Structure 1
Amino acid sequence: MTEQLTTDGRVARGDRTRRVVLAKAVDVASVEGLEGLSIGRLAAELSISKSGLIAHFGTKEELQLRTIRAARAIFAQTVIEPALAIPPGMARLRALLDAWVEYSRDRRFPGGCFFARAAHEYAARPGPVRDALAAVDEEWLGLMVEAITQAQDAGEIRPDVDAGLLAFDLVAALDSANLRSLLMGSFDVYDQARRAMDERLSAAAT
């Protein structure tokens, strides 16, 4: 029994350490990029032994991949899950868009959208990190297409509208607002993005 308690305590401490490290890692990477992550840096900033972090994550690439998964979980909790609680249709589609705007505008990650930052960094660099980022991007775009298709099924978007193209245009508006808000230090671009998306949706609506 004592051995079991000791093992359980060690596992719990390990889980806490990983959560603390990944919470710091997603914030750092959203500003400085995934390349800016290093086990040595995180160990120093969090006052954790470097050998301990190596035991948890092994390599820098594994740390990067785990950071992507942690960021995806935060994004899902912040943007996707609340919207999916709304019945399928135009209301759900708008909820996804509104939640994304607030996620970027409120700086859920200090550097704006984590995935926008990381994707620009790794788009031309083949390997597991780019593959992981591409999978998240495809998942998000696929969710948008699905939401648009559901709105078509509900009779709220015209059936002749190309769901893939509409999703592309909406996501492009979001990405543009995120980038320009950081570059210009202004939040006005989010209002422009909302107007652009409203016009696109109004044109597509039945």
Structure 2
Amino acid sequence: MELARLIKERRSVHQFEDRPVDIELVQELLDTAVWVPNHKMTQPWRFVIVHGEGRKRLADAASAFAAKRESNPEKSQELAEKFYNRFTSVPMFIAIVMKENTQPVVWEEDYASVSCIVQNFSLLAWEQGLGLVWETYPLLHVQAFRDAYGVGPGEKIVGSLHLGYPGKVSAPQPRIPAAELTTIINQAN
């Protein structure tokens, strides 16, 4: 597929078909996605792929988190079940994990590089008929959820990618043309 068309047609996907995603294909796409600009070649990223029965680890952590947010016991159970079902309905999760550098400039450069990996991966996945949504919900900071992903101190989950074959694809949202947001400076003073 032509790159410009691929960029414009890619969508965030929230509903997936109930079919597994090939782990070898995902690893191949990640191998390509890591070819991003990375100042000083720190390559601070790693990936945690959760699928099959492993999804229950994330679902349990999400469910417990949801239950604690609600004081009404009946609503608490309902919310916990909703979170559990949502997490078990996603065929595959990929945590994009970044080793956090203590130097602010390096941290920012690393974060930008890891974000580029997410974009590369989403385009590569879309080209293969896979959809995803890049999630950055509060759960990424909850210790039980981080433990479920195997993320330790000094690491940041840049995103939890929900991946699968699209069950529903939303219509495109309009974008403001870059020309309307561009300032051009062509004089010294």
| TM-score, length of structure 2 as denominator length | 0.25
Higher helix share: 1
Q: Which has the higher contact order (CA 8 A, sep 6+)?
A: 2
